[in-house]
Structure 1
């Protein structure tokens, strides 16, 4: 072997040795980096796992506080007529059919309604689905019979209307629905359309990703996605929508962790309640539960096959497949989902054809899934703050049950809108405030704070303070009639010019509206014709302080200056304050503080404590009956007789009111169901040229046209009898005497003369006649 050869071999060996050493170094570095990488990934996975566990095992979503209307109670004798219940069922999204076969359906004849009620959460506990027959008579509900055993029920509740959800700052709105309550067709369609291997993969489907990549490369654009439902859930829950490799890797890793930690059913339930389904103005519609209400106005469990298929169809692009803007596009997508269901034996051919040929059945685009009730919601929020503090509405899953009657609210809004358009031709820039209460529950049934009911601004139903004018007169006369030994409805009252002087020497000479004087008039006439001078005389006779006390006991919250001018309404108030005291009159003289909330449940559906002030008897029930009678006379042939003429045969109670120079037009009245208080005027307190009968009463009349009134029952209470009085002197008489009038009177002081001879009334004796 030559020297050169030996040198070459040595060089080759050295090179091999160096090469081997390099590979060993590379290998050493590689596995060290792999260990480090694995450790990093492991630690990162542990970090992600903690984030995922915190989300899944804690509060997945901040569920908006739900605000419900009152729950309509049906029972024998309830003041609810057939048309009102029909309207309520329509509002709740019940379907009218020939024969109810499932939940959410009803049938109707002229005197009966057969209803299959939905199950729902009531403040007093869960209410199961129930099939009942409701019968009506001229007074309202006559009976409620359970169909399963023909048992008559003492009380039966309809589910309340979901008025709104108070959405958090993220703008996400949803109604949580457990997966067992989601129809199987939706779940089958979702898996077939979005992720066919959902039950087989481990959160990520490499084959689907590869297939999507090939399709996209061939098309030259993104036309197909490879993400699984689990990946979509990970992205929606934890990640942004940016398109990057890092985000996709993180998404895949999180999907693997989610799939490892949780069952497929848990993942599916989370997806069904998280998925983005559309946009309702500033609110994002998330989840199948809210999407069902948003698109169709009814619970997801009551959707047709066609509607269920549409919900899955719209997932691909809620804006692109917006059914109101692109009906053909959205229907084509729905039909594709239906065809996929048929091809995979989830629908028969007949079911597919029936669903594909049916319309989607959308709710009206004009009808929002949440009510815009700025005036009422302002009162609700204030009451919640007063009861529970500022933090309650920030808690997830709170349920607030209110007193609002959706039908009364709709009638009030229509009445305000139509009437103000007409009145604006007579008096420019006029405004309105209106409060309607439920006579039986003592709750606020409706509220409008602006001539544009949905306007969020100054709430005139609550915040104004304007002279209430003649609306104070029932409390003047209640104070007098309570002194039954001195006053009856027949008592003659002086109607002559008077002048009063105060401590500063200033004089006040009240005048009647027509600037005329009658000498004397019966107390009932003074009341129903809203005469000022007789009212002042009566008020002075019983004492201004007594009148103020009657008003305050009836619920007037503000202080009252006990001056004689107060007797004619020189007392500032709001429609809510007026509604409070007239609610007392309508409720037999019983004062109960008006409320807007009946119950509040926390996220665990546990009722929060509610402390309410005890009610009290503000006006003697027998005296109150006389005031109701007098207010009915106001409508029959007094200052509100146009209202009576508009509803012949219906017994109503009312009182008109006008402040000085026609600056404020007021009306307060009630039927058997609701009390209403209405103010019409200008914000700058200028003259309107409107009186109580031409302004505010017109709004009330329009309200009753939208919500047909129930006639007052006017059942005499204990202590009230039918009395007879001399038309001239007001003296109590026997029923067989001449020149008499029959009027209700308090039994405690009704002492008719034994013969029909002349006798003087208390008032005549007082004035020395």
Structure 2
């Protein structure tokens, strides 16, 4: 049986096409699967990478937000003015203090930061502040004044306060190497209108989006395309915060993507209020020379000189307006441009219903209200800050100022500093009319707390360099004499103000056989002069005779007990000031005299608080009675006589109704001009001379005293009270021989004397008559 032949007939075309389509579909499906698999894997890798990167960014953000967001500069404050009955603070001085602190004078105080004043009273609504001894709340008081100073401080309920503190002036902040300066303000202390203006201007959908606003981006793109240039940004406040905190200002897609991712993470992790607080304290607000001003709190002080809570509506609007371009809208350089931008912010607030029409009209018609000077942002106190840093390093170590948020309270009196600087500048202009290159150093202390109230280290007070107030060592001349006479008056049974002293030629030999013959300035010898006359006329020879009689070691002991901390040579020339010192050293020993003989080491730093406002305890030296109070009083009296009719009589004539104490000093060949003096409030020590130690042709009265006189013109003095201790009485002494006599005797002079040693002779030293003997 034969097999059938295979069919050679071709399949129909339709079947063939069907087969091909099926094959193509299979191939296409495989390609798609491979493509899908590739993209799925890539997407997964990208997702994992993004998530990993997000976790990495999340850790960075967490460390920043939950740790220390900023390194806050150390804040350096001046003294906190203490008001209490009998405080030596005049009405005018207190008004000047309020103006310095940025208080507004009004007819009737209605809110914190305002005051009204009459001739004898000040009605004040004080700000809250952090005092070294505890937080001080806002408070309204009435301060009454009399001729001696403060009479009383009274609350609205009539209760009198024992002591009332004013907030200290912020002098400066010690910034870190990043150059950023800020003053942290918590969100609850930011005025609500500032927040509303910020959201209206920068991010209206802040509470609706999740860190990034696609609608804002699309709107910005549309506006920019329509304008043909970049006129609007699409970044949210959260994105701006992410950029400011973590990124640079370089405009790239990668940076923008990173910014958006970080904004989303920040929005997810933290509340809107936390984000707002961070933004309000981080945003760049301007430039103060090398320092960048960050945050609303510091910007308020930078532009207006007062806390942000006290700003007017127009000033609050300006703070938001300047964010767009602190340099472009700099109000000192471009006032019209800045005002236009402020007005735009105010209009947005009105359109949003946050301001009514009347409020808007008042605000747009208000001036910017800037501080008087763009440069008067912080105090330039190079000499004083040298001392502050030195004390901080000695007490707490060199790392203290690197800690974030510490507060350093000092003794500096800003009004005294201003008066001292002006006195030095004005006097130096006069003394340097001819090219003398005369320099100056000045230290002013607060008599009541032994703190440094003012310091000037150069004829240009803002010069950062050689600090003559502390560093120089020059012969102090006759400024040593009060301590020679104090050594004598400490022996009231031997010496009184009326004791005659020899004013006759004297020649002394030192250990090497060399001779020394001191001379009076007038080259004359008067034979014999009363102790007080020798003191107030600064007679050299009587002083040397007195010092040699007392013993050089005893005089040195008086100096050392009063606060002189450097070695003193035991040569007789020391009695006329042949010992080198600085204004700071001189201020220390005269502070002791002015403080009734009580020695307290001078200091610039009074308290230090950490970033939690906790007091950092440090050692405080105890006061010591270096000079007996009765002796100190007699020296104060004698120094007052110097001003009334002695070598400083010109000063007395300039202030005829004010009791002052002073002592002039001049070194050999008129190389150094010195003056030390005090009123009821401040002690001042001043040096004038040349750095090359050449002649100045100035005496103490024509150089250094001229600075002090100008200082008192700039800062009206308070008359020295000169309250005698209980063991001081009024004595009567023979004008010729200094014997103690009764008041009814002829040719006597009345002088203060120690009671126990004042024994007047009976019958004025004459023999008793027969009837006196009988009766």
1:644 shift after superposition: 0.2
Name the structure 2 match of 1:402: 410
1:220 shift after superposition: 2.6
Name the structure 1 match of 2:394: 386
1:339 corresponds to 2:347:
yes
1:718 shift after superposition: 2.2
Name the structure 2 match of 1:683: 691
| Cα distance in structure 1, aligned partners of 2:420 and 2:510 | 43
The 5-angstrom pairing of residues 14-93 of structure 1 reads 14-93=23-102
Give the alignment partner of residue 171 of structure 1, picking from 179, 188, 193. 179
Q: Deviations over 1:430-479 (max 9, x none)?
A: 00000000000110000000000000000000000000000000000000
| Cα distance in structure 1, aligned partners of 2:442 and 2:583 | 6
Name the structure 2 match of 1:441: 449
Name the structure 2 match of 1:671: 679
* CA contact 2:558–2:627 (8 Å) conserved in 1: yes
| Cα distance in structure 1, aligned partners of 2:585 and 2:374 | 34
Three-state SS of the structure 1 residue aligned to 2:740 is coil
| Cα distance in structure 2, aligned partners of 1:644 and 1:608 | 45
The 5-angstrom pairing of residues 279-678 of structure 1 reads 279-425=287-433, 428-678=436-686
| Cα distance in structure 1, aligned partners of 2:374 and 2:613 | 33
- Give me the TM-score of the superposition, normalised by structure 2: 0.97
Three-state SS of the structure 2 residue aligned to 1:163 is strand
Three-state SS of the structure 2 residue aligned to 1:66 is strand
| Cα distance in structure 2, aligned partners of 1:294 and 1:758 | 78
Three-state SS of the structure 1 residue aligned to 2:359 is helix
1:19 shift after superposition: 1.4
Q: Deviations over 1:265-309 (max 9, x none)?
A: 000000000001111111111111011011101000000001001
Q: Deviations over 1:39-92 (max 9, x none)?
A: 111110000000000000000001000000000000000000100000000000
* CA contact 2:332–2:374 (8 Å) conserved in 1: no
1:226 corresponds to 2:253:
no
1:368 shift after superposition: 1.4
* CA contact 1:427–1:688 (8 Å) conserved in 2: no
1:114 corresponds to 2:139:
no
| Cα distance in structure 1, aligned partners of 2:647 and 2:10 | 139
Name the structure 1 match of 2:272: 264
Name the structure 1 match of 2:771: none
- Give me the TM-score of the superposition, normalised by structure 1: 0.98
Which one has the largest radius of gyration?
Answer: 2
* CA contact 1:427–1:689 (8 Å) conserved in 2: no
* CA contact 1:482–1:623 (8 Å) conserved in 2: yes
1:613 shift after superposition: 1.6
Name the structure 2 match of 1:766: none
1:219 shift after superposition: 2.4
Q: Deviations over 1:484-525 (max 9, x none)?
A: 111110000000111001121100000001111000100000
Name the structure 2 match of 1:161: 169
Three-state SS of the structure 2 residue aligned to 1:15 is helix
1:100 shift after superposition: 0.3
Q: Deviations over 1:540-576 (max 9, x none)?
A: 1111000000000000010111111100000100000
* CA contact 1:666–1:695 (8 Å) conserved in 2: yes
| Cα distance in structure 2, aligned partners of 1:758 and 1:697 | 46
1:145 corresponds to 2:154:
yes
Three-state SS of the structure 2 residue aligned to 1:99 is coil
Give the alignment partner of residue 193 of structure 1, picking from 201, 214, 228. 201
| Cα distance in structure 2, aligned partners of 1:702 and 1:663 | 22
| Unaligned ranges ≥5, structure 2 | 1-8, 768-775
1:217 shift after superposition: 2.4
Q: For this pair of structures, how many residues does the alignment match?
A: 758
1:11 shift after superposition: 4.0
Q: Deviations over 1:688-721 (max 9, x none)?
A: 0000000000000000000010000011102211
Give the alignment partner of residue 734 of structure 1, picking from 725, 742, 755. 742
| Cα distance in structure 1, aligned partners of 2:376 and 2:600 | 34
| Cα distance in structure 2, aligned partners of 1:385 and 1:79 | 33
Name the structure 2 match of 1:765: none
1:755 shift after superposition: 2.0
| CA 428–758 in structure 1, closer or farther in 2 if over 3 Å, else same | farther
1:367 shift after superposition: 4.9
| Cα distance in structure 2, aligned partners of 1:300 and 1:758 | 80
